[in-house]
Amino acid sequence: MPKAFPPEFRRDVVAVARKGEAPIAQIAKDFGISESCLHRWLKLAEIEDGGRPGTTSSESAELRELRRRSKLLEQENEILRRAAAFFAKEIAPK
């Protein structure tokens, strides 16, 4: 698993790359990251800035939270459905 770089480091590297004063390969080598990693960071930065279509990190976090909440509500709904069926069976005339 590749090591994680702090967000500040990523922002600095992307800022240097966006200046265009040196080739991407040289910038990646200078900062000790792979060229593909730098390309990915640039792509993600463009998405965050709204210059490219895609899901921003805040939207991704919101989606994860909404999916988690939806799953919880579905589980709660299933429990209530089973409880209602159980009590309906108990109340039914014999």
Indicate the pTM of the whole model.
0.65
1-54 folds as Arc Repressor Mutant, subunit A (1.10.10)
Whether the predicted pLDDT of 49 surpasses 90: no
Is the distance from CB of 27 to CB of 38 less than 8 angstroms? yes
* CA–CA separation, 58 and 40 (whole Å): 18
Confidence of residue 94 (pLDDT cuts 50, 70, 90): low
Q: Predicted confidence band at 17 (pLDDT cuts at 50, 70, 90)?
A: very high
Which letter, b or e, does each residue of 67-79 get, where b requires 16 or more Cβ atoms within 10 Å of its Cβ?
A: eeeeeeeeeeeee
Reported confidence tier of residue 51, pLDDT bands at 50, 70, 90: confident
Radius of gyration of the chain from its Cα atoms, rounded to whole angstroms: 25
Report the length, in residues, of the chain.
Answer: 94
pLDDT top residue among 51 and 13: 13
Q: For residue 81, which amino acid is it? A: R
